[in-house]
Amino acid sequence: MKEPALTLTAGDRSLTVQRDWCKGCNLCVQSCPAGILSLDEGERIVVEDISRCIFCGVCAARCPDFVFTLAREWQPQVAMGGPA
């Protein structure tokens, strides 16, 4: 059965994981500098603790199957004075 993409958030950042597309190659697990990725018993990717993710993008860069998407919520900038 198709599994919907999982979106994990921490502050204004998010990591979307399309687990269905994971082939269990382990490349991202070995590359994640935070050490928060692993494979479950079905050889599919698991993000163990999104609060420790540094949103470096290494997983997205390494994955040959486009499992990961990083995003940052847009925050409107507040004008701090200047000419009227």
CB atoms within 10 A of CB 59: 25
CA dist., res. 39 & res. 3, Å (int): 16
Beta bridge partners of 15: 8, 70
Q: Which is nearer to ligand SF4, 4 or 83 (CB)?
A: 4
Q: Which is nearer to ligand SF4, 30 or 77 (CB)?
A: 30
Residue 73: CB minimum distance to ligand SF4, A: 16
Residue 20: CB minimum distance to ligand SF4, A: 10
Residue 4: CB minimum distance to ligand SF4, A: 16
CA dist., res. 34 & res. 36, Å (int): 6
